[in-house]
Amino acid sequence: MLYPLKFKPILKERLWGGTKLKSVLQKPIESDITGESWELSGVEGDISVVSEGSLEGTSLNSLIDRYEEKLLGKSVMDRFGKDFPILIKFIDAQKDLSIQLHPNDALAKKRHNSFGKTEMWYIMDADPKAQLIVGFNRDVQQKEYVESLENDTLLELLNYEEVTEGDTFFINTGKIHAIGAGVLLAEIQQTSDITYRVFDFNRKDKNGNLRELHTELAVDAIDYERKDDFKVTYPTEGNMANTMVESPYFKTNYLNLDTDYTLDVSQRDSFTILMCVKGEATVANAAGKTSVKKGETLLLGADTDVIEITTLGARFLEVSI
């Protein structure tokens, strides 16, 4: 059995990034524009590496090759083979992100030989009046959308959501969206880095160039209907697993712990991910234990039966397939 695994953060500078990953989550960043910390990734070119314990320095792909179903679970391997199906990130938006969307599985497979990108966001910190863009504010026709790009009026068609800590959003493929300035969030998504950027406020990169837009690719990937299907309401009762999201791509529970807690996962045919979004704890299974604090993520193998969490107060997002 694998002990609870922690991985080295993969830090990404972004045009819109800031310093909260360091000031709030204690990530080892050195720049003032670090926008993302990839906590657990099987994306080619950005494979996570174990940060501590006897397996320190081992890549996620090597772990999968070695442990297979013991790590992933039989049902997960039946669906995804040895491709790790979840990408875990923390995101700091000092400035507005570009307005974008992601293709569904069928379109992503056809065009990019990739998974689509269904995702969820959990707000960890937000400046006063900070917002997200999620979907349109009414049903929109494709022709009207295209004209709004030509006339620079797209922002008038979009739905804005003011956010505070704990707010949670589920973003289906095809839904136009953007993270606004002043938001720090945890992101859980399908393993995919396919993004169609449709508007970027006419900003230029460090070389003075406008960033690439994917206008034509996006047109037939967008869901033009106004749908109130994105804001997640969930119970927050203490010391139990509270369901947040249950989708074909991932399941997420909210653990609001004020004391020690035992999580029985013996009937789960999947790995378990624990993202600590508040406080600190010690997490143990039969193979070992690991300390974890706000802004850190653990992976426990599918062969884990019981997870023991020792804490005086912590909040976790618990993710499985």
**What residues are labeled active site?**
197
Nearest one of 137, 134, 102, 108 to 121, comparing CA atoms: 134
Identify each DSSP E strand in 172-233 by its residue range.
Answer: 177-179, 183-190, 196-199, 231-232
Measure Cα distances from 201 to 10, 102, 118, 176, 274 in Å.
27, 19, 24, 15, 35
106 is written with which tokens?
A: 């069928």
CA distance 140 to 226: 8
Distance between alpha carbon 219 and the CA centroid of its chain, in Å? 24
Contact indicator for 301, 1 with CB cutoff of 8 Å = yes
Contact 267, 239 (CB under 8 A): no
DSSP 8-state code for residue 4:
P
According to DSSP, the β-strands at 231-232 and 168-171 are: antiparallel
* Separation of CA 102 from chain center: 14
Q: How far apart are the first and last CA of the chain?
A: 19
163, 130 in Cβ contact below 8 A?
Answer: yes
Please give the Cα distance from 309 to 318 (Å, whole number).
12
Report whether 146 contacts 109 (CB < 8 A).
no
Identify whether the C-beta of residue 78 lies closer than 8 Å to the C-beta of residue 85. no
The tokens of 100 are what?
A: 């974008």
List the structure tokens of 125.
């910190």
Pairing of strands 168-171, 241-246: unpaired
